[in-house]
């Protein structure tokens, strides 16, 4: 026989570490080669000129320069078109 009354169980006590995602260097700002411009989960932002995608989908600068953002029309596999944000370093 149990010696304690029903204490219940808490299921919401676990928490994950923050990922600190988002834009780190905004349009018009200077970026040094190797700097992280954007930390993202998947490929929401696309790499353009003088940028590359890291293993965790973060966008890095290849060369020193100014960061610019632009929109680009892309076609999906089913033919629908949508806008994608492209990151460049000039």
Give me the DSSP letters along 5-37.
-----------PPP---EESS-TTSEE-TT-EE
pLDDT exceeds cutoff 80 at 75: yes
Give the C-alpha separation, 75 to 4, whole Å: 63
Predicted confidence (pLDDT) per residue in 4-60, tens digit: 776 777 777 788 899 999 999 999 999 999 999 999 998 899 999 999 999 999 999
Other Cβ atoms closer than 10 A to 2: 5
CATH number of 22-89: 2.40.50.100
pLDDT exceeds cutoff 90 at 1: no
In the chain, where the domains are located:
22-89
The pLDDT of residue 2: 63
What Å distances lie between residue 87 and 49, 57, 76, 78, 82, CA to CA? 8, 13, 20, 25, 16
The pLDDT of residue 27: 93
- Which pLDDT band, with edges at 50, 70 and 90, does 3 fall under? confident
Both structure tokens of 9? 């169980």
> Considering only CA atoms, which of 45, 42, 25 is closest in space to residue 33?
25
Both structure tokens of 48? 């353009």
- What pTM was estimated for this model as a whole? 0.77
Give the C-alpha separation, 30 to 90, whole Å: 9
């Amino acid at each position: 026989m149990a010696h304690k009354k029903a204490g219940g169980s808490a299921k919401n006590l676990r928490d994950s570490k923050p990922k600190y995602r988002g834009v780190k260097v905004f349009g018009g700002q200077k970026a040094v080669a190797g700097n992280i411009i954007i930390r993202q989960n998947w490929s929401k932002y696309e790499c353009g000129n003088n940028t590359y995608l890291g293993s965790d989908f973060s966008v890095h600068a290849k060369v020193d320069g100014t960061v610019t953002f632009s929109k680009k029309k892309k076609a999906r596999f089913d033919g629908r078109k949508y806008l994608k944000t492209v990151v460049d370093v000039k």
